[in-house]
Structure 1
Amino acid sequence: MAFPGLQHVAVTVTDLERSTRWYSALFEAEPVLDEDEEAGRFHHTVFVLEGGQLFGLHTHQGRESGDSFDEERTGLDHVGFAVGSVAELEEWVQRLDRLGIEHGGVKRAGYGSGLSFRDPDNIALELFTTAG
């Protein structure tokens, strides 16, 4: 049996309103869900991405550490989003620039090309293609 693909990713944020606005602008979409979890342990705001994957923002009712994201700490290193081509990455450079989002420019490697940037909590995000 093959291991299944990713269905969703959820990240913990320090300021849900700020992050919801930021991701709404990035995704050019509004959340499809914004509610407390049944037991009241966390609140989640969820976006649907192309292909049906979900991307969630979580707040843990004030129990978050408040620490800035650090990929060198055990846990998440970054979240990568698939794009189809280097040309599409170049379009994303322009879009991130329009949104005022700092990025590292398109970086090429033998295994593909990527465009890295960070969200308001410093969570590392990447747009990536394996195409030439």
Structure 2
Amino acid sequence: MAFPGLQHVAITVSDIGRSTEWYTRLLGAEPVLTEDEEGGEFHHVVYALDGGSLFGLHTHMGKESKDRADERRTGLDHISFGLSGTAELEQWRDKLDSLGIQHGGIKKAHYGSGISFRDPDNIALEFFIAPGT
């Protein structure tokens, strides 16, 4: 039996309004859903990504720690968005520049190439291409 692919990723953010604005600009799309969970435990904003995956932002009704993300703590290290090749990677570099989002430039390694950047809560994100693409 094959292990299934990811259906969605959800991250906790400290300021849902700020993060919704930031991710809407980055993704170039409006959320497909924004609602309180029926039990009242959290509010989520969800985006549909190409390929059928969903990307969600959660706030836990003021109970989140407000700490900035740190990949050295146990938990999330980073989220990587897959691209098809160098030209697309360069386009995303240019889009990050146009949005004023700081990044580390295109880095090349034997396992692939990517651009790393961070969201308003310091969550590490990257655009990535496999080697030879």
TM range (shorter): over 0.9
Give the superposition deviation at 1:60: 0.2
Q: 1:12-58: CA deviations, max 9, x gaps?
A: 00110110000000000000000011111000000000011000000
The 3 A distance-change label for structure 1 pair 83 and 130 is same
1:21 and 2:12 are equivalent in the alignment? no
SS in 1 for 2:116: strand
Alignment match, 2:118:
118
Alignment match, 2:75:
75
Tell me if structure 1 keeps the 8 A contact 2:43–2:61.
Answer: yes
Alignment match, 1:90:
90
Percent identical pairs in the alignment equals 67
SS in 2 for 1:115: strand
Match for 1:48: what amino acid?
Answer: A
Alignment match, 1:35:
35
Q: Distance in 1 between matches of 2:125 and 2:41?
A: 26
Give the superposition deviation at 1:131: 3.9
Q: How does 1:121-132 map to 2 (within 5 A)?
A: 121-132=121-132
Q: How does 1:50-61 map to 2 (within 5 A)?
A: 50-61=50-61
TM-score by length of 1: 0.98
Give the superposition deviation at 1:88: 1.0
Give the superposition deviation at 1:109: 0.5
Backbone CA RMSD of aligned residues: 0.6
Q: Distance in 2 between matches of 1:85 and 1:119?
A: 23
Any unmatched runs of 5+ in structure 1? none
Q: Distance in 2 between matches of 1:37 and 1:31?
A: 16
Q: Distance in 2 between matches of 1:130 and 1:24?
A: 26
Any unmatched runs of 5+ in structure 2? none
Q: Distance in 2 between matches of 1:131 and 1:19?
A: 32
Q: Distance in 1 between matches of 2:56 and 2:87?
A: 28
Q: 1:70-101: CA deviations, max 9, x gaps?
A: 00000000000000011211111110000000
Runs of 4+ off more than 6 Å: none
Q: Distance in 2 between matches of 1:16 and 1:91?
A: 27
